[in-house]
Structure 1
Amino acid sequence: MSDASRTPASPAGAPRGIDPRGPRFAASITSVLLLTATLLALIGSSTAKADVASFGWFAYQPLTGRDFAFVAGKSWLLPQLSVAQRAADPGFLLLLVIALLFVWGLLSPRTQPWSVLYRRFVQPRLAPPTELEDPRPPRFAQGVGLLVTIVGLILHLAGVPWALVIAAALAFVAAFLNAVFGLCLGCQLYLLLQRAGVVGRAATA
């Protein structure tokens, strides 16, 4: 997270902001869930292949006519499944739950499960934060995570192989960087858009 989105904390509680350790705690749990979803997607229908049989050209003799041969091979399993079967994939179901958690974080950040868990059980055991964070960049990052996961879910339901794996892996990398190194890619994108005047202006001290 850039220092531009952080301000020193004060005993009086101003300026208003959030404890920056809260989003990192949430990112830690989210990264574990996303890693699990990625592994489930890797061994699920998203990457599976099925034995298929088709008729193809074996040889063509202009004088004797066309000859057909039975050709066996492999094809992606996902396009052959119904939408209900695609939706029953464990990796899909877990990524759907994660997407719903992203929605929850966007609509009501304070009541999102990881936020409540941090405030009740983790924050009381830590020293008060030395700086507060603008809540808008982390919330924007939730929206980016939601967008990535939704694209993966839709493409999976549409029968696109590997879409679920790629979406879960991309979201995992972003969450992992935030949890381990404090690098919030969605927050950095927000700050770039903020400087370009696309999103809200920076908060004044």
Structure 2
Amino acid sequence: MMLDPRGPRFSAGLTTILFVVVLLTGNGWLALAQAAVFAVGAYDPRLTPYGLLYRYLVAPRLGPPAEREDGAPVRFAQAVGFVFATLTVVGYLSGATVVGAVGASFALVAAFLNAVFGLCLGCEAYLLIKRLRTA
């Protein structure tokens, strides 16, 4: 699966906003919604609500991408995001707010770096693991 690289960055921007709200409010249910988005994204990032919003409302206004990227690193990054979002949910909904805040903070930093700088930490981890396996 090849992806328009602007789609994951758009999704990361929305994820950044969501995790800022989660940190400000301590809302574990909102984090649960994001965990569900990550779960779908680990299967196919194009099928997430953010991916669909990008595909049908944003992408047509931008024109075709100059290049495409492999979807496997993005799927891995979504799975990693799911782990951090789940940690956030468990923390906030169980009353362990520090655990929730730590999970949300890690997810926020990763989403922010992707949205603003195009640096996908999960994608880089995927590529590093792939290199280590073949070495």
TM-score (structure 2 length as normaliser):
0.91
1:92 aligned residue = 28
2:74 to 130, 135, 138: 138
Residue aligning to 1:165: 101
After superposition, the C-alpha distances for 1:95-137 in whole angstroms (9 at most, x for unaligned) are 1111111112123433211111111111111132111100011
1:36 alignment counterpart:
21
Is residue 7 of structure 2 the alignment partner of residue 25 of structure 1? no
Instruction: Tell me, yes or no, if structure 1 residue 103 matches structure 2 residue 39.
Output: yes
Alpha-carbon deviation of 1:159? 4.1
Task: Measure, in 1, the Cα distance between the counterparts of 2:94 and 2:47.
Answer: 33
The structural deviation recorded for 1:161 is: 3.8
Residues 106-117 of structure 1 aligned to structure 2 (within 5 Å): 106-117=42-53
Cα distance 1:129–1:161, how it changes in 2: closer, same or farther (>3 A)?
closer
Q: Unpaired runs of 5+ in structure 1?
A: 1-15, 42-90, 199-205
Paired residue secondary structure (1:103): helix
The percentage of counterpart residues that share the same residue type is 46
Question: How large is the RMSD of aligned CA atoms in angstroms?
Answer: 1.6
CA distance in 1: counterparts of 2:16 and 2:92, whole angstroms: 21
Structure 2 distance, partners of 1:106, 1:170, is 18
Letter in 1 for 2:131: R
Find the residue that maps to 2:133 and give its secondary structure. Answer: coil
Larger radius of gyration between Structure 1 and Structure 2: 1
Amino acid at match of 2:40: W
Q: Measured at CA, do residues 19 and 161 of structure 1 come closer, stay the same or move farther in structure 2, by a change above 3 Å?
A: closer
Match of 2:113 in 1: 177
From the two aligned structures, give the one with the greater strand fraction.
Answer: 1
- Specify whether residues 158 and 33 from structure 1 end up closer, same or farther in structure 2 by C-alpha distance, changes over 3 A only: closer
- 1-structure distance, mates of 2:93, 2:61: 43
Instruction: Extract unaligned runs of 5+ from structure 2.
Output: none
Tell me by how many angstroms 1:163 deviates.
Answer: 0.9
Counterpart CA distance in 1 for 2:92 and 2:22 is 13
| 1:188 is aligned to 2:121 | no
